[in-house]
């Protein structure tokens, strides 16, 4: 179901966004648009200084912006300390999520042992396996597959074509986008003289409350213990979370990133697109990994980290990286030698 816009007055939106209103509080807006495309009845936003030049010419009915930009705004405005956050709240009010009629579609298969709350929605062509538990106000979109013993908390939504493998557990208000696979087997293999033999994966994938998982993302079940995605974590599309990974509260992971097995990522971290975290390492809280960076060792100090090196022979890379780690010390030694050389030259000039 698509979202249908609902009109609100600027007075209402200012209260919702926690923003200061300058202008007529009774103006009604019913959509969001960019500064350049907005017409009457639309509210726009300025959250990035690169677009400030478009502010003076906007035809929006109102603009969400920061206090320093308000003097140059030619139309009513909502002034917020965090314009991005204010925009999110305004858009949520203007475009409320549709609420479908509860019930089970005739084309869905539901195992007799499954327990489904009366307010839940099971859309067309879903498969609900044995001992599945679906709480109140859950929405299971078309084509979803829920295998044995899956548990889904109140208010969670699977948009469509989502697979939750056996024993997977979702908390409350989770949002899982199309094509995501949660609880599949991790890459557990033993080598028998060059032949790979599969190792059973008997843990679970457990997601906390308010977790969002992007399209075509894969989260593996634990090999023995659980793979844990804690409260408030946001994961973008085409991300791979391997078995036994632990992701701390409110961490955000951008598209095409990967976290290898048994690694731990702390709380309030950000992992930018295309970054890779190797297995069995630990990132402390509030670590920020730049795009396409490769994390091969634990990070125990909060801060921003970047590291991208083109591929080369492994032995060469090891030697070069060992020298790179000595770079600061080498610079200090070179500077000390330069100072000593300058002193010697000064002495020679004095003697001359």
pLDDT digits (tens, 9 = 90+) for 207-229: 999 999 999 999 999 999 999 99
> What's the mean pLDDT in 31-57?
94
Range of the domain at 329: 314-351
In a domain, 53, yes or no: yes
The CATH number linked to 183 is 2.160.10.10
Residue 261 sits at the vertex; the CA angle it makes with 256 and 264, to the nearest 5 degrees, is: 85
Report the C-alpha gap between 259 and 200 in whole angstroms: 20
Same domain? 69 vs 108: no
Tokens standing for 194? 């060059």
Output the six-digit token pair for 156: 């969670």
- % of the chain residues with pLDDT over 70: 99
Same domain membership, residue 136 and residue 244: yes
Rounded CA-CA distance 108/140 in Å is 10
Residue 3 lies in a domain: no
Residues 86 and 114 in one domain: no
Calculate the alpha carbon distances from 228 to 8, 12, 101, 167, 209 in Å. 40, 39, 32, 13, 12
What is the Cα–Cα distance from 209 to 5, expressed in whole angstroms? 27
| Res. 1 pLDDT band, cuts 50 70 90 | low
262 and 296 fall within a common domain: yes
Same domain, 18 and 152: no
List the CATH number of the domain containing 40.
Answer: 3.40.1390.10
| Edge-first strand listing for the sheet containing 282-283 | 115-116, 133-134, 151-152, 169-170, 205-207, 227-229, 246-247, 264-265, 282-283
Residue 282 domain-assigned (yes or no): yes
Residue 245: which of 270, 231, 265 has the closest Cα? 265
Residue scoring higher pLDDT (308 or 291): 291
Mean pLDDT of the chain: 95
Strand extents, DSSP E, 199-327:
205-207, 212-213, 218-220, 227-229, 234-235, 240-241, 246-247, 252-253, 258-259, 264-265, 270-271, 276-277, 282-283, 287-289, 294-295, 303-305
Cβ atoms 166, 149 nearer than 8 A: yes
Number of structural domains in the chain: 3
Chain segment 159-191, per-residue pLDDT in tens: 999 999 999 999 999 999 999 999 999 999 999
Do residues 124 and 49 both lie within one domain? no
The answer to whether position 1 is within a domain reads: no
Interval 84-122: pLDDT, tens: 999 999 999 999 988 899 999 999 999 999 999 999 999
**Same domain? 271 vs 127:** yes
- Residue 267: inside a domain, yes or no? yes
- The pLDDT tens digits of the residues spanning 269-287 come to 999 999 999 999 999 999 9
Which one is predicted more confidently, 133 or 48? Answer: 133
Distances (CA, A) of 5 to 12, 276, 281: 15, 39, 45
**Over 80: is that where the pLDDT of 350 sits?**
no
Q: Are residues 184 and 205 in the same domain?
A: yes
Same domain, 215 and 256: yes
Domain boundary among 94, 112, 134: 94
Catalytic residue among 105, 243, 250, 314: 243
Task: Answer with the one of 32, 65, 94 that is the final residue of a domain.
Answer: 94
| The last residue of a domain, from among 94, 124, 154 | 94
Q: Is 280 a catalytic residue?
A: no
Task: Judge if 81 and 188 occupy the same domain.
Answer: no
Task: Name the phi and psi angles at 124, rounded to 5.
Answer: -65, 145
Residue 24 lies in a domain: yes
CA atoms of 145 and 151, how far apart (whole Å):
13
Pairing of strands 227-229, 205-207: parallel
Tell me, yes or no, whether 297 lies in a domain. Answer: yes
User: Please, what's the largest Cα pairwise distance for the chain?
Assistant: 103
Given a contact cutoff of 8 angstroms between Cβ atoms, the answer to whether 38 and 28 are in contact is no
pLDDT of residue 90: 97
Sign of CA dihedral 210, 212, 213, 215: positive
> In this structure, is residue 277 part of a structural domain?
yes
Whether 122 and 74 map to the same domain: the answer is no
Same domain, 77 and 154: no
31 pLDDT above the threshold of 90:
yes
**C-alpha of 337 from chain center:** 49
């Amino acid at each position: 179901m698509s979202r249908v816009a609902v009109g609100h007055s600027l007075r209402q939106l200012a209260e919702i966004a926690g923003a200061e209103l300058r202008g007529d509080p009774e103006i009604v807006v019913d959509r969001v648009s960019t500064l350049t495309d907005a017409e009457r009845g639309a509210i726009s936003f300025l959250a990035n200084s690169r677009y400030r030049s478009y502010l003076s010419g906007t035809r929006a009915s109102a603009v969400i912006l920061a206090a320093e930009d308000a003097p140059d705004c030619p139309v009513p405005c909502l002034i917020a300390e965090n314009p991005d956050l204010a925009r999110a709240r305004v858009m949520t009010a203007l475009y409320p999520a549709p609420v479908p009629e509860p019930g089970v579609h005739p084309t869905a298969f539901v195992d007799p042992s499954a327990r489904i709350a009366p307010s839940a929605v099971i859309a067309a062509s879903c498969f609900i396996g044995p001992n599945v538990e679906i709480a109140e106000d859950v929405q299971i979109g078309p084509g979803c597959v829920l295998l044995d013993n899956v548990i889904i908390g109140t208010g969670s939504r699977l948009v469509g074509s989502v697979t939750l493998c056996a024993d997977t557990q979702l908390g409350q208000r989770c949002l899982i986008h199309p094509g995501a696979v949660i609880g599949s087997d991790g890459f557990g293999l033993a080598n028998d003289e060059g032949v790979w033999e599969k190792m059973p994966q008997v843990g679970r994938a457990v997601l906390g409350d308010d977790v969002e998982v992007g399209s075509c993302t894969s989260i593996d079940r634990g090999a023995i213990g659980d793979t844990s995605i804690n409260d408030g974590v946001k994961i973008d599309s085409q991300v791979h979370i391997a078995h036994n990974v632990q992701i701390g509260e409110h961490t955000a992971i951008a598209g095409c990133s990967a976290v290898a097995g048994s690694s731990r990522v702390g709380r309030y971290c950000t992992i930018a697109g295309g970054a890779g975290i190797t297995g069995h390492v630990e990132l402390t809280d509030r670590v920020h990994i730049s795009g396409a960076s490769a994390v091969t060792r634990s990070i125990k100090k909060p801060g921003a980290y970047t590291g991208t090196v083109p591929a080369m022979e492994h032995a060469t890379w090891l030697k070069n990286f060992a020298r790179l780690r000595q770079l600061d010390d080498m610079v200090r030694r070179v500077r000390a030698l330069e100072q000593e050389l300058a002193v010697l030259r000064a002495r020679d000039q004095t003697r001359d």
